[in-house]
Amino acid sequence: MSNLSDCPKEECGVLGISTAGKDAARIGFFGLYALQHRGQEAAGIAVSDGRAIRVHKSQGLVSQVFDNEKLAPLVGSLGIGHTRYSTTGSNSDRNVQPYVVETMHGPMAVAHNGNLVNADQLRSKLLERGAGLQSSSDSEVLALMLAAAEGASWEERLASVMPQWQGAFSLVVLCAGKVIATRDPWGFRPLSMGRLASGGHVVASETGALQTVGCDNIREIDPGEIVVLSGQLARSHQGMKPSSTQARCTFEHIYFSRPDAFWDSMSIHQVRQRLGAELAREHPVEADIVMPVPDSSMPAAIGYAAESRITYTEGFVKNRYIGRTFIEPTDELRRQGVALKFNTLPENLFGKRVVMVDDSIVRGTTAGPLVRLLRDAGAAEVHVRVTCPPIAHPCFFGVDMGTHDELIAHQLGVPEIANHIGADSLGYLSLEQMMVAIGREDGYCNACFTGSYPVPVQLSLMSSKQRFDGVLG
């Protein structure tokens, strides 16, 4: 369902489980279910019973990929899981994670979230060594480098190859007897761990997934930290020193993470309310109602309304049945007003001066039609407020925001964008006030706003989006 869809795409949610019992796969299922928003294209779980690793993975939603029959053979107390966003059209079965290999040290599985900026060089090195690569996924590169690394244990091998990996990776590794988890030294992508009441531990991309599976004692895994889960124990050491440049992804606050997640020890829902409140202070406007673009902008709109003392209500109704449909309104139908995703609430809007709060504008394809819908429903004025600065630069650390050419803020200034989307006024939250709302002065990657990448990005990467997928259809 792509019409009126202008969201950045995150590539993954990851999960690692070590339980006292045998039901790692079942806990994995519920954890992935809570990470579904981080990747709706594919899902997989690999488990170990201490000897063998078994995996089930496939394209589709978590609830489509797994049923009781599929979970039944996945017996074991250790497991890792993955949800994936992938580009459509390509036969990407081979890229679905977790990625499982037999190595000289026994079976191993890998799943990760993020993107290496030096993957091309790493692939080339592997190929030159005589390897055969079966996918275009960074996971395979990580796995094959681990398989060939120096070290007496998987955690030692991990520590020995990590320094070669440039970019974002929140990684989980499953071997016969343990689960290992780590984050890149910059800390781009989130990864947290918690303790299961019934014994054992879980690591997950978002704390909400840990809450879903019943964890307490939840804490973030540090950049460069290596956590080893085995039985009921969790050991930890610093595999690499954290980079002097810390680079958490601001967009986890703005859009990606579910509002029940904590990121940098802060409640996402509260950060978003504060982003709304700062936005109200920085871009106030005389209006009758404040309304969100559902669903992700709700907390920010609540915050804007509370700060501005303007009435909060809803102006859009969103169709909740977001199963993928391949049927789109024809242009003819669209001209006739057929809209698949949003309807308006004219009684709430008629004659009103409206503040429409949106979390971000990426390609600029959604905001215009939404403003028009509000006007068609009788809104007297439409003031668009955005909870982050203009996005003018692509992300190379795991978020598919599109290329420079596709980013509207790379092409147009704010007044032109306001004009383009037909808003009476348009206010982006400034970088400074955004960081005030977040409550930090630095430690974040704001490259998509500033173009200042915390890790050097090769020019070749900046000009080409697709690396390898053409070669192996």
Q: Of 230-289, which residues contact a copy of itself (CB under 8 A)?
A: 258-260, 267, 269-270, 273
Q: In which residue are the tokens 């996924």 written? A: 137
Q: How many residues bind a copy of itself (CB under 8 A)?
A: 105
Footprint on residues 89-108 left by a copy of itself (CB under 8 A): 91, 100-104, 106-108
Footprint on residues 296-315 left by a copy of itself (CB under 8 A): 298-299, 302, 305-306, 311-314
Cα separation values, 441 from 257, 291, 435, Å = 21, 29, 6
- Interface pick for a copy of itself out of 7, 71, 414, 436 (rule CB under 8 A): 71
For residue 219, the surrounding DSSP H or E stretch is: strand 215-220
Q: Which is nearer to a copy of itself, 318 or 353 (CB)?
A: 318
Contact 191, 201 (CB under 8 A): no
- Interface pick for a copy of itself out of 244, 331, 347, 463 (rule CB under 8 A): 347
Q: Which is nearer to a copy of itself, 419 or 466 (CB)?
A: 466
- Interface pick for a copy of itself out of 2, 233, 238, 468 (rule CB under 8 A): 468
Distance in angstroms (rounded) separating the CA atoms of residues 11 and 358: 22
Tokens of 240: 């690499």
Q: Which is nearer to a copy of itself, 295 or 442 (CB)?
A: 295
Q: Which is nearer to a copy of itself, 114 or 208 (CB)?
A: 208
* Nearest distance from C-beta of residue 429 to a copy of itself, angstroms: 20
Q: Which is nearer to a copy of itself, 215 or 447 (CB)?
A: 215
Instruction: Provide φ and ψ at 200, rounded to 5°.
Output: 95, 180
Contact 128, 138 (CB under 8 A): no
Peptide bond into 405 cis (omega under 30): no
- Interface pick for a copy of itself out of 12, 15, 17, 61 (rule CB under 8 A): 61
Distance in angstroms (rounded) separating the CA atoms of residues 396 and 379: 39
* Nearest distance from C-beta of residue 144 to a copy of itself, angstroms: 5
If you compute the radius of gyration of the chain from its CA atoms, what whole number of angstroms results? 23
Footprint on residues 17-56 left by a copy of itself (CB under 8 A): 23, 26-27, 29-30, 33-34, 36-37, 40, 51-56
Footprint on residues 212-231 left by a copy of itself (CB under 8 A): 212-215
Q: What is the DSSP string of 41-52?
A: SEEEEEEE-SS-
Q: Residue 26: left (phi > 0), alpha (psi -120 to 50), or beta?
A: alpha
Tokens of 340: 């698949």
Query: 3-class SS at 376?
Result: helix
* Nearest distance from C-beta of residue 402 to a copy of itself, angstroms: 24
Footprint on residues 419-438 left by a copy of itself (CB under 8 A): none
* Nearest distance from C-beta of residue 312 to a copy of itself, angstroms: 6
Helices (H), 357-412: 367-376, 408-411
User: What is the b/e burial string over 439-453, where b = at least 16 CB atoms within 10 angstroms of the residue's CB?
Assistant: eeeeebbbbbbeeeb
* Nearest distance from C-beta of residue 107 to a copy of itself, angstroms: 5
Is 12 catalytic? The answer is yes
Contact 192, 204 (CB under 8 A): yes
Cα separation values, 422 from 269, 319, 374, 375, 392, Å = 29, 24, 11, 10, 20
* Nearest distance from C-beta of residue 245 to a copy of itself, angstroms: 28
Q: Which is nearer to a copy of itself, 299 or 454 (CB)?
A: 299
Footprint on residues 120-179 left by a copy of itself (CB under 8 A): 123-124, 127-134, 143-144, 147-149
* Nearest distance from C-beta of residue 60 to a copy of itself, angstroms: 9
Tokens of 296: 């992700």
* Nearest distance from C-beta of residue 240 to a copy of itself, angstroms: 21
Footprint on residues 182-211 left by a copy of itself (CB under 8 A): 196-198, 208, 211
Q: Which is nearer to a copy of itself, 142 or 418 (CB)?
A: 142
Q: Which is nearer to a copy of itself, 46 or 399 (CB)?
A: 46
441 near a copy of itself, judged by CB under 8 A: no
Q: What is the DSSP string of 300-322?
A: HHHHHHHHHTPEE---EEE----
Catalytic center residues: 12
